[in-house]
A = this chain, B = another copy of it.
């Protein structure tokens, strides 16, 4: 099955009625990705900063590629909470630094040992292993430095640091990667697999949504309902993202993915597809999309970007 066939799946169909939102969404996406790229380029040390080779590799890892799903989610949630664009740009960049660092380390020979990422040689291939380890370490520090300098009140900045540090820590992002590595050659129960995905991928996606909201309206008790709804939304798409990743790894080719296809099967890793089969995995993705849209219902059209992003997560071809 090709990605195109997946896109044509009835259960995952993009609404045919188009009142102009589709074009607007594309323009918004391009603009947001461009702004994230610009913020990253401005916030990372220039490539002639001492030590130059490290900074060149750091920019190689973080700039000029990626779907920027987390920045898009952060910006869409921030717009819902009427956050300032400047704070959202820098917050999105900080989240993307954590994401980029985790990819650089996950690709290392001692980890997933991957040579290709975003259609380019991975950092340890383009540079060397030591540089790749240090690039990841530096990107993580730079993410927290970036949050510490946001144009927001100190209370808000420290809440953002807490949120990102928790998502990036051993109970979430790093813990998920540890379980993923340990799971090679073993079978996991479906709840255990979902738990691993929630940690490895879901936590940072959830943090991106929550951090966008935190840049805007305060996290007062009055807004608890908003946070709960956004949590429901983001935990659905966080899991959906990984389910679709598993589907794409099973069906797409390396050129389309920009990373090595079929790697999970080669590594004998349990995935949604290996455990549930392709059809049940696609049904799960569709169900998670419904759950995401249901969570957004109370916000009405103000949440349309988040709704469109849920569709993008489910329907993406790479």
Contact = CB atoms under 8 A, between A and B. Distances in A.
A68 B205 CA distance: 36
Contacts of A137: 101-102, 105, 136-137, 140, 168, 174
A187 interface: no
A151 B108 CA distance: 38
A166 interface: yes
A297 interface: no
A182 B53 contact: yes
Contacts of A280: none
Contacts of A51: 170, 175, 178-179, 182
B178 A53 contact: yes
Interface residues of A, number: 55
Q: Is the interface of A mostly helix, strand, loop or mixed?
A: helix
Interface stretch (A27-35, A157-165, A224-232, A284-292): A157-165
Interface of A: 45, 49-51, 53-55, 58, 101-102, 105, 108, 110-111, 128-131, 133-134, 136-138, 140-142, 144-145, 147-149, 153-155, 157-159, 161-162, 164-166, 168-171, 173-175, 177-179, 181-182, 195
